[in-house]
Amino acid sequence: MTNETIPQLTLDLPDSAVPGFAALLQHGILCPVAGPVQIRPFLLALPGFTADYIEGTVQTIFINGSAADTLDRPLGCGGTLALSAAMPGLAGAIFRREGPHGSLRSRTASDECIGDDGPGHITLKLFNSIAADRVFDLLERGIRVSGQALAEFAGRRPDLFQPPTGLTLDGRPVDAAGLMAAAQQATMIDLQARVRAAA
């Protein structure tokens, strides 16, 4: 893992702005791990990912871009786990975990541990209703994202980083332009939201 200092960004958000950050979760959350982890316990440690939620909502799993049928497997540092609720159409049927059309996939994730043995990060990407369901809890607890991902997201949704949203970077107030500059220079940024009821 890197020894660089990771900037700390605090967002003072009206609750009405929170859903707009669901798209940031598609870019990927960088989850620090000491080494390979079992995916299911890894998810259960995240806010809102109860056993019932995982079983009932997580219908599509991709590990490093390949569809998988189960969460009961290891994932190492540098690996990417993408989760989606049920997707429509034939593609959804093909990629649905343990679905009857899984044999139509061009490739399927192997059962071996994917990623490195040492400490680092697992990238977790959340899509559609899973991102919408979990964005509030994850922002309040705090997430780590790549600086590039945050810069790209802020470039697409500049409205989310303007008043009434307040921005604090490493304990000092910053405007959207200052945040963008910092994000473009940082490898990673730790982001946490303080959510308030809209006036």
Among 104-118, 137-151, 173-187, the least confident range: 104-118
Checking if the pLDDT of 195 tops 70, the result is yes
Helices (H) and strands (E) in the chain, counts: 7, 12
Residue where the block lists tokens 């780590």: 144
d(Cα 110, Cα 197) in Å, to the nearest integer?
A: 46
CA-closest candidate to residue 60, choices 146, 126, 118, 114: 126
DSSP one-letter string for 84-101: ESPPPHHHHHHHBTT-TT
Position 2 in a domain: no
Residue where the block lists tokens 């490898």: 187
Domain hosting 12: range is: 8-196
Mean pLDDT of the chain: 87
Position 46 in a domain: yes
Position 3 in a domain: no
Q: What is the pLDDT of residues 30-61, one digit of tens each?
A: 999 999 999 999 999 999 999 999 999 998 88
Q: What is the pLDDT of residues 131-177, one digit of tens each?
A: 999 999 999 999 999 999 999 999 999 999 999 999 999 999 999 99
Q: Would you state the pLDDT for residue 197?
A: 85
Position 79 in a domain: yes
Residue where the block lists tokens 């950050």: 21
**In 35-176, at which residue ranges do the beta strands (DSSP E only) sit?**
37-38, 60-63, 66-68, 74-75, 80-84, 120-126, 143-146, 166-169, 172-173
Q: Would you state the pLDDT for residue 116?
A: 67
- Paired with 116 in beta bridges are 77
Position 178 in a domain: yes
Position 109 in a domain: yes
Position 1 in a domain: no
Checking if the pLDDT of 187 tops 70, the result is yes
Q: At what angle do helices 147-156 and 176-185 cross, to 10 degrees?
A: 150
Residue 20: exposure state from Cβ atoms within 10 A (0-12, 13-18, ≥19): middle
Total domains in the fold of the chain: 1
